[in-house]
Amino acid sequence: MKVLVTGGAGYVGGTAAAMLLDQGHEVNILDDCSTGYADTVDPRATFFKESLLDANAVATSLSGCDAVLHFGAKSLVGESVVKPDIYWETNVSGTRILLDAMRAAAIPTLVFSSTAATYGEPKEIPIAESAVTDPTNPYGASKLAVDYMISAQAKAYGLAAISLRYFNVAGAFKSQRGWLAERHNPETHLIPNVLRATAANPLKVFGEDWPTKDGTCVRDYVHVVDLIGAHISALSAAIAGSHEIINLGSGGGYTVKEVIAAAESALGRPVPYEMAPRRAGDPAVLIADITKAGKLLSWKPERDLQSMVGDALASFQ
Ligand code: UFG
Protein backbone atom coordinates (compact mmCIF):
# COMPACT_ATOMS: atom_id res chain seq x y z
CA MET A 1 0.00 0.00 0.00
CA LYS A 2 1.13 3.60 -0.57
CA VAL A 3 0.12 6.04 2.15
CA LEU A 4 0.40 9.83 2.46
CA VAL A 5 1.36 10.68 6.05
CA THR A 6 0.73 14.36 6.78
CA GLY A 7 2.72 15.59 9.76
CA GLY A 8 5.23 12.79 9.16
CA ALA A 9 8.13 14.89 10.51
CA GLY A 10 6.54 14.99 13.95
CA TYR A 11 6.49 12.58 16.87
CA VAL A 12 3.27 10.65 16.19
CA GLY A 13 3.27 11.04 12.38
CA GLY A 14 6.97 10.15 12.19
CA THR A 15 6.32 6.99 14.17
CA ALA A 16 3.49 6.08 11.79
CA ALA A 17 5.70 6.62 8.74
CA ALA A 18 8.52 4.53 10.19
CA MET A 19 6.20 1.67 11.23
CA LEU A 20 4.59 1.59 7.77
CA LEU A 21 8.01 1.60 6.08
CA ASP A 22 9.28 -1.17 8.38
CA GLN A 23 6.22 -3.20 7.31
CA GLY A 24 7.12 -2.74 3.64
CA HIS A 25 4.59 -0.06 2.66
CA GLU A 26 5.42 2.99 0.53
CA VAL A 27 5.13 6.36 2.26
CA ASN A 28 4.87 9.97 1.12
CA ILE A 29 5.31 12.58 3.84
CA LEU A 30 3.88 16.11 3.74
CA ASP A 31 5.17 18.36 6.52
CA ASP A 32 6.19 22.02 6.52
CA CYS A 33 8.43 21.43 9.56
CA SER A 34 6.78 24.31 11.42
CA THR A 35 6.77 22.06 14.49
CA GLY A 36 8.27 18.87 13.04
CA TYR A 37 11.92 18.24 12.17
CA ALA A 38 13.27 17.44 8.69
CA ASP A 39 15.92 15.18 10.26
CA THR A 40 13.11 13.03 11.74
CA VAL A 41 11.92 12.19 8.23
CA ASP A 42 12.73 8.63 7.29
CA PRO A 43 14.91 8.61 4.13
CA ARG A 44 12.91 5.65 2.79
CA ALA A 45 9.89 8.00 2.46
CA THR A 46 9.31 10.56 -0.29
CA PHE A 47 9.34 13.91 1.51
CA PHE A 48 7.36 17.00 0.49
CA LYS A 49 8.46 19.87 2.75
CA GLU A 50 5.29 21.79 2.06
CA SER A 51 2.26 23.21 3.83
CA LEU A 52 -1.20 21.66 4.00
CA LEU A 53 -2.42 25.10 2.94
CA ASP A 54 -0.71 24.77 -0.45
CA ALA A 55 -3.32 22.97 -2.56
CA ASN A 56 -0.88 22.21 -5.40
CA ALA A 57 1.66 20.69 -3.01
CA VAL A 58 -1.04 18.61 -1.32
CA ALA A 59 -2.23 17.31 -4.70
CA THR A 60 1.33 16.41 -5.70
CA SER A 61 2.01 14.63 -2.42
CA LEU A 62 -1.11 12.47 -2.92
CA SER A 63 0.09 11.12 -6.25
CA GLY A 64 -0.26 7.32 -6.42
CA CYS A 65 -1.50 7.00 -2.82
CA ASP A 66 -4.17 4.53 -1.70
CA ALA A 67 -4.90 6.20 1.65
CA VAL A 68 -4.04 9.11 3.95
CA LEU A 69 -3.01 9.17 7.60
CA HIS A 70 -3.65 12.79 8.57
CA PHE A 71 -1.61 13.94 11.58
CA GLY A 72 -0.49 17.37 10.32
CA ALA A 73 -1.91 19.94 12.75
CA LYS A 74 -1.25 22.51 15.43
CA SER A 75 -1.68 20.71 18.73
CA LEU A 76 -0.91 22.89 21.76
CA VAL A 77 -3.93 23.61 23.93
CA GLY A 78 -2.43 26.75 25.53
CA GLU A 79 -1.26 28.19 22.21
CA SER A 80 -4.73 27.62 20.75
CA VAL A 81 -6.25 29.90 23.38
CA VAL A 82 -3.94 32.81 22.58
CA LYS A 83 -3.64 32.24 18.80
CA PRO A 84 -6.92 30.56 17.76
CA ASP A 85 -6.62 31.81 14.17
CA ILE A 86 -3.71 29.52 13.40
CA TYR A 87 -5.75 26.54 14.66
CA TRP A 88 -8.65 27.36 12.30
CA GLU A 89 -6.20 27.92 9.46
CA THR A 90 -3.96 24.84 9.77
CA ASN A 91 -6.35 22.34 11.31
CA VAL A 92 -9.64 23.31 9.67
CA SER A 93 -8.64 25.00 6.37
CA GLY A 94 -5.69 22.61 5.92
CA THR A 95 -7.97 19.60 6.24
CA ARG A 96 -10.51 21.22 3.92
CA ILE A 97 -7.78 21.46 1.26
CA LEU A 98 -6.69 17.87 1.89
CA LEU A 99 -10.26 16.53 1.59
CA ASP A 100 -10.78 18.38 -1.72
CA ALA A 101 -7.50 17.05 -3.09
CA MET A 102 -8.30 13.49 -1.98
CA ARG A 103 -11.67 13.69 -3.71
CA ALA A 104 -10.14 15.08 -6.91
CA ALA A 105 -7.59 12.25 -6.91
CA ALA A 106 -10.22 9.61 -5.98
CA ILE A 107 -8.29 8.49 -2.89
CA PRO A 108 -10.80 6.42 -0.95
CA THR A 109 -9.53 6.19 2.63
CA LEU A 110 -8.69 8.63 5.44
CA VAL A 111 -7.59 8.02 9.04
CA PHE A 112 -7.62 11.25 11.04
CA SER A 113 -5.76 12.15 14.22
CA SER A 114 -8.48 13.49 16.51
CA THR A 115 -8.27 14.06 20.25
CA ALA A 116 -9.95 13.55 23.60
CA ALA A 117 -9.91 17.37 23.79
CA THR A 118 -13.06 17.27 21.60
CA TYR A 119 -15.03 16.04 24.64
CA GLY A 120 -14.01 18.84 27.00
CA GLU A 121 -14.71 18.44 30.73
CA PRO A 122 -16.12 14.89 31.03
CA LYS A 123 -19.51 14.26 32.58
CA GLU A 124 -18.80 10.53 32.97
CA ILE A 125 -15.67 8.41 33.31
CA PRO A 126 -14.68 6.39 31.31
CA ILE A 127 -15.40 8.55 28.26
CA ALA A 128 -17.19 6.75 25.42
CA GLU A 129 -17.48 8.04 21.86
CA SER A 130 -21.17 8.76 22.56
CA ALA A 131 -20.19 11.34 25.22
CA VAL A 132 -21.16 14.97 24.70
CA THR A 133 -18.55 16.94 22.75
CA ASP A 134 -18.03 20.33 24.37
CA PRO A 135 -14.40 21.35 23.85
CA THR A 136 -12.96 23.86 26.29
CA ASN A 137 -10.31 25.30 23.95
CA PRO A 138 -9.87 26.13 20.23
CA TYR A 139 -7.54 23.16 19.71
CA GLY A 140 -10.31 20.70 20.66
CA ALA A 141 -12.90 22.76 18.80
CA SER A 142 -10.80 22.76 15.60
CA LYS A 143 -10.42 18.97 15.73
CA LEU A 144 -14.16 18.58 16.36
CA ALA A 145 -14.92 20.82 13.37
CA VAL A 146 -12.76 18.54 11.24
CA ASP A 147 -14.62 15.48 12.52
CA TYR A 148 -17.85 17.12 11.32
CA MET A 149 -16.30 17.90 7.92
CA ILE A 150 -15.14 14.31 7.51
CA SER A 151 -18.60 12.92 8.41
CA ALA A 152 -20.17 15.12 5.74
CA GLN A 153 -17.53 14.12 3.18
CA ALA A 154 -18.16 10.41 3.87
CA LYS A 155 -21.92 10.86 3.52
CA ALA A 156 -21.83 13.04 0.41
CA TYR A 157 -18.93 11.52 -1.50
CA GLY A 158 -18.40 8.01 -0.13
CA LEU A 159 -15.10 8.62 1.68
CA ALA A 160 -14.08 5.72 3.96
CA ALA A 161 -12.98 7.47 7.17
CA ILE A 162 -12.03 6.81 10.76
CA SER A 163 -11.17 9.48 13.34
CA LEU A 164 -9.07 8.26 16.24
CA ARG A 165 -9.43 10.27 19.43
CA TYR A 166 -6.20 10.05 21.38
CA PHE A 167 -5.89 10.33 25.09
CA ASN A 168 -2.29 10.77 26.38
CA VAL A 169 0.28 9.45 23.90
CA ALA A 170 3.69 8.51 25.31
CA GLY A 171 6.67 6.22 24.76
CA ALA A 172 8.78 5.90 21.61
CA PHE A 173 9.37 3.60 18.64
CA LYS A 174 12.71 2.07 17.69
CA SER A 175 12.60 1.76 13.92
CA GLN A 176 15.22 0.09 11.73
CA ARG A 177 16.98 3.52 11.82
CA GLY A 178 16.93 3.92 15.60
CA TRP A 179 14.78 5.62 18.23
CA LEU A 180 12.22 8.25 17.25
CA ALA A 181 12.01 10.57 20.23
CA GLU A 182 9.23 12.97 21.19
CA ARG A 183 10.65 16.45 20.38
CA HIS A 184 8.33 19.29 21.22
CA ASN A 185 9.52 22.83 21.78
CA PRO A 186 8.35 23.93 24.26
CA GLU A 187 7.76 20.51 25.83
CA THR A 188 4.55 20.56 27.86
CA HIS A 189 3.89 16.81 28.19
CA LEU A 190 4.30 15.11 31.52
CA ILE A 191 6.51 12.10 30.74
CA PRO A 192 9.31 13.96 28.89
CA ASN A 193 9.23 16.66 31.55
CA VAL A 194 9.49 14.08 34.36
CA LEU A 195 12.45 12.37 32.68
CA ARG A 196 14.29 15.67 32.13
CA ALA A 197 13.67 17.17 35.58
CA THR A 198 16.80 18.17 37.47
CA ALA A 199 17.49 19.58 40.92
CA ALA A 200 18.06 22.98 39.29
CA ASN A 201 14.94 22.69 37.14
CA PRO A 202 12.50 20.41 38.98
CA LEU A 203 9.24 19.11 37.52
CA LYS A 204 6.27 21.26 38.44
CA VAL A 205 3.31 19.11 39.51
CA PHE A 206 0.20 21.09 38.61
CA GLY A 207 -2.05 20.77 41.64
CA GLU A 208 -2.22 18.39 44.59
CA ASP A 209 -5.80 19.11 45.63
CA TRP A 210 -7.66 17.30 42.85
CA PRO A 211 -10.38 14.82 43.83
CA THR A 212 -8.19 11.79 43.07
CA LYS A 213 -6.51 9.15 45.22
CA ASP A 214 -3.30 11.15 45.78
CA GLY A 215 -4.55 14.63 44.84
CA THR A 216 -2.83 14.75 41.43
CA CYS A 217 -4.56 14.48 38.02
CA VAL A 218 -5.31 11.13 36.43
CA ARG A 219 -4.65 10.58 32.72
CA ASP A 220 -4.97 7.62 30.36
CA TYR A 221 -1.55 6.97 28.77
CA VAL A 222 -1.20 4.94 25.57
CA HIS A 223 2.07 3.84 23.98
CA VAL A 224 2.73 5.45 20.58
CA VAL A 225 3.48 2.01 19.04
CA ASP A 226 0.09 0.65 20.18
CA LEU A 227 -1.53 3.89 18.95
CA ILE A 228 -0.05 3.59 15.45
CA GLY A 229 -0.96 -0.11 15.36
CA ALA A 230 -4.58 1.05 15.66
CA HIS A 231 -4.09 3.47 12.73
CA ILE A 232 -2.75 0.71 10.51
CA SER A 233 -5.74 -1.49 11.44
CA ALA A 234 -8.05 1.46 10.75
CA LEU A 235 -6.74 1.73 7.17
CA SER A 236 -8.32 -1.63 6.39
CA ALA A 237 -11.34 -1.27 8.71
CA ALA A 238 -12.66 1.97 7.15
CA ILE A 239 -15.81 1.46 5.07
CA ALA A 240 -16.81 3.59 2.04
CA GLY A 241 -19.47 6.16 2.93
CA SER A 242 -18.94 5.76 6.66
CA HIS A 243 -17.08 7.83 9.26
CA GLU A 244 -16.38 6.10 12.56
CA ILE A 245 -15.01 7.86 15.62
CA ILE A 246 -12.93 5.67 17.92
CA ASN A 247 -11.17 6.45 21.22
CA LEU A 248 -7.58 5.31 21.75
CA GLY A 249 -6.27 5.02 25.28
CA SER A 250 -5.56 2.17 27.66
CA GLY A 251 -8.90 2.20 29.42
CA GLY A 252 -7.15 2.90 32.75
CA GLY A 253 -5.40 5.85 34.34
CA TYR A 254 -2.41 6.94 36.40
CA THR A 255 -1.92 9.94 38.63
CA VAL A 256 0.97 12.34 38.07
CA LYS A 257 2.62 10.90 41.20
CA GLU A 258 2.31 7.36 39.80
CA VAL A 259 4.00 8.51 36.60
CA ILE A 260 6.79 10.03 38.69
CA ALA A 261 7.20 6.69 40.54
CA ALA A 262 7.41 4.79 37.24
CA ALA A 263 10.05 7.25 36.00
CA GLU A 264 12.04 6.89 39.22
CA SER A 265 12.08 3.14 38.71
CA ALA A 266 13.30 3.55 35.07
CA LEU A 267 15.91 6.15 36.03
CA GLY A 268 17.05 4.38 39.21
CA ARG A 269 17.00 7.69 41.12
CA PRO A 270 14.48 10.13 42.56
CA VAL A 271 12.83 12.68 40.25
CA PRO A 272 13.17 16.23 41.61
CA TYR A 273 9.74 17.84 41.70
CA GLU A 274 7.82 20.60 43.41
CA MET A 275 4.14 21.29 43.81
CA ALA A 276 2.70 24.13 41.71
CA PRO A 277 -0.79 25.62 41.27
CA ARG A 278 -3.35 23.88 39.07
CA ARG A 279 -2.82 24.45 35.32
CA ALA A 280 -5.72 26.28 33.68
CA GLY A 281 -8.03 24.00 31.72
CA ASP A 282 -6.88 20.69 33.25
CA PRO A 283 -9.72 18.29 34.10
CA ALA A 284 -9.13 16.08 37.19
CA VAL A 285 -9.54 12.72 35.45
CA LEU A 286 -9.54 11.62 31.79
CA ILE A 287 -9.95 7.92 31.03
CA ALA A 288 -11.05 6.42 27.71
CA ASP A 289 -13.66 3.77 27.17
CA ILE A 290 -11.86 1.67 24.54
CA THR A 291 -14.58 -0.93 23.91
CA LYS A 292 -15.26 0.37 20.39
CA ALA A 293 -11.57 0.13 19.37
CA GLY A 294 -11.64 -3.52 20.47
CA LYS A 295 -14.77 -4.23 18.44
CA LEU A 296 -14.06 -2.32 15.22
CA LEU A 297 -10.28 -2.60 15.03
CA SER A 298 -9.70 -5.82 17.05
CA TRP A 299 -7.28 -3.61 18.97
CA LYS A 300 -6.06 -3.58 22.50
CA PRO A 301 -3.02 -1.79 23.90
CA GLU A 302 -0.16 -4.10 24.85
CA ARG A 303 2.43 -1.79 26.42
CA ASP A 304 2.14 -0.57 30.01
CA LEU A 305 3.23 2.65 31.72
CA GLN A 306 6.65 1.21 32.63
CA SER A 307 7.30 0.43 28.98
CA MET A 308 6.18 3.95 27.92
CA VAL A 309 8.52 5.58 30.43
CA GLY A 310 11.37 3.14 29.65
CA ASP A 311 11.09 3.64 25.88
CA ALA A 312 10.83 7.43 26.22
CA LEU A 313 13.99 7.37 28.34
CA ALA A 314 15.85 5.15 25.84
CA SER A 315 14.83 7.49 22.99
CA PHE A 316 16.25 10.53 24.83
CA GLN A 317 19.67 8.91 25.42
N1 UFG B 1 1.57 17.85 34.24
C2 UFG B 1 2.31 18.29 35.31
N3 UFG B 1 3.53 18.88 35.05
C4 UFG B 1 4.01 19.04 33.78
C5 UFG B 1 3.24 18.58 32.69
C6 UFG B 1 2.01 18.00 32.95
O7 UFG B 1 1.91 18.17 36.48
O8 UFG B 1 5.12 19.58 33.61
C9 UFG B 1 0.28 17.20 34.50
C10 UFG B 1 -0.89 17.92 33.86
O11 UFG B 1 -1.42 18.88 34.76
C12 UFG B 1 -1.85 16.78 33.57
C13 UFG B 1 -0.94 15.58 33.31
O14 UFG B 1 0.32 15.92 33.88
O15 UFG B 1 -2.60 16.48 34.71
C16 UFG B 1 -0.76 15.28 31.84
O17 UFG B 1 -0.43 16.50 31.17
P18 UFG B 1 0.06 16.55 29.64
O19 UFG B 1 0.37 17.96 29.34
O20 UFG B 1 1.11 15.52 29.42
O21 UFG B 1 -1.21 16.07 28.82
P22 UFG B 1 -2.72 16.63 28.81
O23 UFG B 1 -3.55 15.60 29.51
O24 UFG B 1 -2.82 18.01 29.30
O25 UFG B 1 -3.02 16.74 27.24
C26 UFG B 1 -3.02 15.67 26.34
C27 UFG B 1 -2.54 16.14 24.99
C28 UFG B 1 -3.47 17.18 24.42
C29 UFG B 1 -4.86 16.63 24.37
C30 UFG B 1 -5.28 16.09 25.70
C31 UFG B 1 -6.58 15.40 25.53
O32 UFG B 1 -1.25 16.68 25.13
O33 UFG B 1 -3.07 17.50 23.11
O34 UFG B 1 -4.32 15.16 26.21
O35 UFG B 1 -7.00 14.83 26.68
F36 UFG B 1 -5.72 17.60 24.03
How far is the centre of ligand 1, averaged over its atoms, from the C-alpha of 129 (Å)? 20
How far is the centre of ligand 1, averaged over its atoms, from the C-alpha of 293 (Å)? 23
How far is the centre of ligand 1, averaged over its atoms, from the C-alpha of 73 (Å)? 18
Return mean pLDDT, the chain.
97
Q: What is the pLDDT of residue 185?
A: 86
For ligand 1, atom 29, which residue shows the shortest CA distance? Answer: 117
Ligand 1 atom closest to Cα of residue 139: 36
For ligand 1, atom 2, which residue shows the shortest CA distance? Answer: 205
CATH superfamily ID and name for 173-220+251-286+303-316: UDP-galactose 4-epimerase, domain 1 (3.90.25.10)
Q: Which residue intervals of the chain bear CATH 3.90.25.10?
A: 173-220+251-286+303-316
Ligand 1 atom closest to Cα of residue 286: 35
Task: Give the residue-averaged pLDDT of 20-48.
Answer: 96
Task: Point out the catalytic residue in the list 11, 139, 221, 254.
Answer: 139
Q: What is the pLDDT of residue 172?
A: 98
Residue 68: closest CA among 38, 117, 105: 105
How far is the centre of ligand 1, averaged over its atoms, from the C-alpha of 168 (Å)? 7
Tell me which residues have their CB closer than 6 angstroms to ligand 1: 75, 77, 115-117, 167-168, 188-190, 193, 203-206, 217, 219, 256, 279, 282, 286
Q: What is the pLDDT of residue 280?
A: 85
Task: Give the residue-averaged pLDDT of 10-37.
Answer: 97
Predicted model pTM: 0.97
How far is the centre of ligand 1, averaged over its atoms, from the C-alpha of 314 (Å)? 21
Residue 251: closest CA among 120, 128, 161, 90: 128
For ligand 1, atom 30, which residue shows the shortest CA distance? Answer: 117
For ligand 1, atom 10, which residue shows the shortest CA distance? Answer: 206
Q: What is the pLDDT of residue 301?
A: 98
Ligand 1 atom closest to Cα of residue 276: 7
CATH number listed for the domain at residues 2-170+221-247: 3.40.50.720
Active site residue 139: yes
Q: Show Cβ contacts of residue 156 under 8 Å, excluding neighbours closer than 6 positions.
A: none
Identify the DSSP state of 285.
B
Q: What is the pLDDT of residues 191-242, one digit of tens each?
A: 999 999 999 999 999 999 999 999 999 999 999 999 999 999 999 999 999 9
Q: Which residue intervals of the chain bear CATH 3.40.50.720?
A: 2-170+221-247
Q: What is the pLDDT of residue 281?
A: 84
Determine the residue of 133, 189, 196 to mutate for testing ligand 1's pocket, defined as the one with the most ligand atoms within 8 A of the Cβ atom. Answer: 189
Q: What is the pLDDT of residue 197?
A: 97
Determine the residue of 144, 190, 195, 305 to mutate for testing ligand 1's pocket, defined as the one with the most ligand atoms within 8 A of the Cβ atom. Answer: 190
How far is the centre of ligand 1, averaged over its atoms, from the C-alpha of 150 (Å)? 27
DSSP codes of every residue in 48-111: E---TT-HHHHHHHTTT-SEEEE--S---HHHHHH-HHHHIIIIIIHHHHHHHHHHHTT--EEE
Residue 100: closest CA among 28, 64, 149: 149
- End-to-end CA separation in angstroms for the chain: 33
- The yes-or-no verdict on residue 186 having pLDDT over 90 is no
Identify the DSSP state of 118.
G
As a whole-number percent, the residues of the chain with pLDDT over 70 amount to: 100
Q: Are strands 67-70 and 2-6 parallel, antiparallel or unpaired?
A: parallel
Q: Are strands 173-175 and 178-180 parallel, antiparallel or unpaired?
A: antiparallel
Phi first, then psi, for residue 192 (nearest 5°) are -60, -40
Q: What is the pLDDT of residue 125?
A: 97
Q: What is the pLDDT of residues 48-70, one digit of tens each?
A: 999 999 999 999 999 999 999 99
Q: What is the pLDDT of residue 313?
A: 98
